Amino acid sequence: MMVMRKLRKKMRVFLWFAIVVFVAGMTAMMVGGGGRKPTPTEQGKVGEIYIKPTSAWQKMKRWTRKEKIPLSYRDYSNLLEHYKKQGIPAWKCKNLAFSTLVEEALVIQEMKKRGIELTDEEVVEIIKNNPPPELLQDTLLLTNGEFDYNKYLAIISDPSNTKWLQSYELLIRSQMPREILYQTITSAARPTTIDLIEAYAHSHLKLTLEYALIPNPEPRTPNPELLEYYNTHQDEFMLQEEPIINYVVFQVPISAEDEDYTKEIAQEIADFAQGGASLDSLAIEYGCQIIQTQSQTPNTEHRITKKDDGYHITKEDKELILPVRPSDESFVLTEDKASDFISAAKSDFLSAAKSYDLKVHKGAGYELPIPADLSYINLAEKDKIIGPIEGLNCFYVLHTLGIQESHTPEFSTLSDKVRDKYHHSKAQELAQKLLDKTKGRLKPSFQPFKEVLQANGFPVETREFSAGAIHESPIQQEIFLKASNLPENETGIVSTEDGIYLVHCLKHEKPIQEEIEKAIPEVYPDWIKEEKEMIYEEWLANLKTSVDIKDYRYKIH
């Protein structure tokens, strides 16, 4: 009996996803009088997937009947709650939950299409020969330090354990076909010896670089000079056809009471941590994020620090982040206000925005500064109001304006962008001239890298780089990545988001051949895992493009 209690407890750890996905959601009852067709959300659907015709015969006959896969609102809500418990912000949870639901539905559809399923006999054999991984090291099932299959078989043969076996069967029927599909899709991953050698050599590469930032020229460039650049590079500024959108933002206010309440909760968490509770368990309980700290000397004392993103509670080598959130009441009131605005905006969006004292923002395409996945919503349809869409302590309401044809905007609307591109090109030209000097292509002949740069007023930094070094900044990591193919004593230009860098490689140290040959068996598992994950992600992304996905989370008025 003690063994079974422990088994049941451990099974909870890996059954959550099966429960979320396979528990049938009860759809909302058809509502509305007078013969009104219920909305998808009233039918319990958060979205739908339309399978497009694929065969040549269907396309030739203009096949219009599409298979529909409903996406359950209840499954979506369960996933949403699961992600929230991990400390992920609410608006991120929504995108993640919907994406997971779409991918799960497509994977199930693909398994049906390929006929991947398990027979009852296969399930029985899997249960007999594959105990759950969490139980293989269970001391109650060990004999002389090794897992005792006779004890395990005795447990699964006991009729009183039927409920537990049904749970395990559910998990196997859920996960094993997915594993078969995964292995089928990724079976092409086959590394050559050269692949493994390159992977190991790159992951153990060490560089000593000296480099200097070549800054953009003085920003006060005369407009005629910028206009000339614009006229000769108009193709770089052309905008493709895309939907245009107006939108407004309703900020959820954070009151002094919200700040005080969060501070009290931070102290409460810190007290629990001081009393011995782990930050990981507290993060789950309070719905917070955990990050790893870089502290070299772990501190057993808790510490509370107020930062821009909230209160940080530090213990040992971890930090729990408790953001300052508006109250639930503030969220409800703000969402109601946004809904009232929508009612007023149906007749005139701009007038409604003015009456609500809201700034109207304009955007184009699907890359709006809105933390919501809009790719499943038709933004090309004119004069539609979409929302409210929840963001980080705010709500968005969108108004579609139709399609903007491909065109090159007037210079007056692009002056800042033209200036940035112009200055970048000038920095690139200057970097090339300095590079030519270091290579002796210009008179006077060859001069040392540092001498050339310092003579032109650019400070030079020298440092050692190694693959995967966590102490390096994102820019330093980018310099290392782009300079990794630079031979020793060679100089090159590295373009980053931060600007143009001139880089000289002082040392390029790869592991010796003998070390590489010994390490190849160790490299293989990591290489094959990364390659398979990449192949599977690409396959899944292509699968999404082959269907028509409808998102019903946001009301379209």
**Domain end call among 404, 439, 469:** 404
Whether 14 and 121 map to the same domain: the answer is yes
524 in any annotated domain = no
**Domain end call among 360, 379, 404:** 404
Pairing between strand 142-143 and 394-404?
unpaired
Q: Angle at the Cα of 26 (from 22 to 32), degrees rounded to 5?
A: 150
What distance in Å separates the CA atoms of residue 34 and residue 501, rounded to the nearest whole number? Answer: 69
What distance in Å separates the CA atoms of residue 524 and residue 189, rounded to the nearest whole number? Answer: 11
Count of domains forming the chain: 4
pLDDT score, position 27: 39
- pLDDT > 90 fraction of the chain, expressed in percent and rounded: 13
What's 488's domain CATH number?
3.10.50
Whether 137 and 156 map to the same domain: the answer is yes
Whether 114 and 70 map to the same domain: the answer is yes
Mean pLDDT score of the chain: 80
520 in any annotated domain = no
17 in any annotated domain = yes
Whether 73 and 92 map to the same domain: the answer is yes
Task: Tell me the pLDDT tens digit for each residue of 256-295.
Answer: 888 888 888 888 888 888 888 888 888 877 877 778 776 5
314 in any annotated domain = yes
525 in any annotated domain = no
523 in any annotated domain = no
Q: Taking the model in full, what pTM does it have? A: 0.66
Domain that holds residue 273: 256-322
Q: Angle at the Cα of 65 (from 60 to 66), degrees rounded to 5?
A: 105
pLDDT score, position 446: 54
Whether 118 and 133 map to the same domain: the answer is yes
Task: Tell me the pLDDT tens digit for each residue of 34-61.
Answer: 556 777 777 888 889 988 766 554 454 4
Whether 264 and 305 map to the same domain: the answer is yes
User: For 49, left (φ over 0), alpha (ψ -120 to 50), or beta?
Assistant: beta
What's the gap between Cα 486 and its chain centre? Answer: 31
pLDDT score, position 13: 41
Whether 343 and 423 map to the same domain: the answer is no
196 in any annotated domain = no
Q: How many helices (H) and strands (E) does the chain have?
A: 17, 17
Whether 61 and 113 map to the same domain: the answer is yes
pLDDT score, position 241: 85
522 in any annotated domain = no
Whether 263 and 334 map to the same domain: the answer is no
Q: Helix, strand, coil shares of the chain as percentages rounded to 5?
A: 50, 20, 30
Residues facing residue 168 across a β-bridge: none
Whether 315 and 386 map to the same domain: the answer is no
Amino acid letter, residue 53: P
Q: How confident is the model at residue 484 (pLDDT cuts 50, 70, 90)?
A: confident
Whether 353 and 209 map to the same domain: the answer is no
Whether 126 and 166 map to the same domain: the answer is yes
